[in-house]
Amino acid sequence: MLEVTPVRAFADNYIWLIHGRTDRTRVAAVDPGDARAVEQALADRGLTLAALLVTHHHRDHTGGVEALVGRFGVPVFGPARESIPGGPRPLGEGDEVRLDDLGLAFRVMDVPGHTAGHIAFVGHGAVFCGDTLFSAGCGRLFEGTPAQMLDSLVRLADLPRDTKVYCTHEYTLNNLRFARVADPGNAATAAYEAECMHKRNRDEPTVPSTIGREREINPFLRCDDSNVKQAAESRAGRRLMDRTAVFAAVREWKDQF
Ligand code: ZN
Ligand code: FE
């Protein structure tokens, strides 16, 4: 099992620090949007930065890369199909990131949809999926089509059920308010919402989630479910013929929610 520490940044971002398995004081930072937040966490916790992993090009995920590379001289790993500061080692589907000095290795998945070249890092029972899969939600379609995003989500949902889902934003409660109407009557959603409210009241993160949990409560992973399909059809005011049409309608609905 991985040891992972969240660093809060901006309004609701998490920068994940993945601790080395050989030396827990050496860490890789995922999506370092804010260099100062990372530097502060390293200083507070007595940690050393060893690498940066980047899922996609948005500023809130990359804004700290240049400053951190300048200060610590660490390698950067990022999507081959996007322009990322810091000259990352370019990665795509099936590539492996080996961080030998940390005793860590991750497999790369292409997960386009939120952005065209978005990647995810999978390994050690965890997935770092940026803004593709959120707990109870998914990223907005800025550069991809509904079919692309759905395919990315379906492949993430195929990971083992106990895989921990490290997404980049604390959007869970907002997503669950939507899930309540998009997947009405789902008892697992209601129970999960109570659990997450309790965590947020104590100012704790609701993430990581797990793939198994997301398959039960995330409406975007449940476009085959008759409840979700029916809710989407009544919202759209027309029959939705396949799960891509259901997904597109649910995504559009959420955009306006
Ligand atoms: Zn983003
Ligand atoms: Fe983001």
Q: Which two tokens stand for residue 42?
A: 């390293």
pLDDT tens digits, residue range 11-64? 999 999 999 999 999 999 999 999 999 999 999 999 999 999 999 999 999 999
Q: Average pLDDT, stretch 91-96?
A: 98
Ligand number with the minimum distance to the CA of 34? 2
pLDDT tens digits, residue range 210-229? 999 999 999 999 999 999 99
The span from the CA of 248 to the CA of 252, in Å, is 6
Ligand number with the minimum distance to the CA of 167? 2
Please tell me the predicted confidence (pLDDT) of residue 206.
98
Q: Which one of 3.30.565.10, 3.40.50.880, 3.20.20.70, 3.60.15.10 gives the CATH number of domain 4-218?
A: 3.60.15.10
Q: Average pLDDT, stretch 125-148?
A: 98
Please tell me the predicted confidence (pLDDT) of residue 1.
83
The span from the CA of 27 to the CA of 135, in Å, is 24
Q: How far is the CA of 33 from the centre of ligand 2 (A)?
A: 9
Catalogue the active-site residues: 56, 58, 60-61, 114, 131, 169
Q: Which two tokens stand for residue 55?
A: 């899922």
Q: Which two tokens stand for residue 233?
A: 């059809």
Q: How far is the CA of 155 from the centre of ligand 2 (A)?
A: 20
Please tell me the predicted confidence (pLDDT) of residue 202.
98
Per-domain boundaries in the chain: 4-218
Please tell me the predicted confidence (pLDDT) of residue 222.
98
Question: Where residue 69 falls among pLDDT bands split at 50, 70, 90?
Answer: very high
Rounded to whole angstroms, what are the CA distances from 162 to 48, 65, 127, 214?
29, 31, 11, 10
Q: How far is the CA of 226 from the centre of ligand 2 (A)?
A: 31
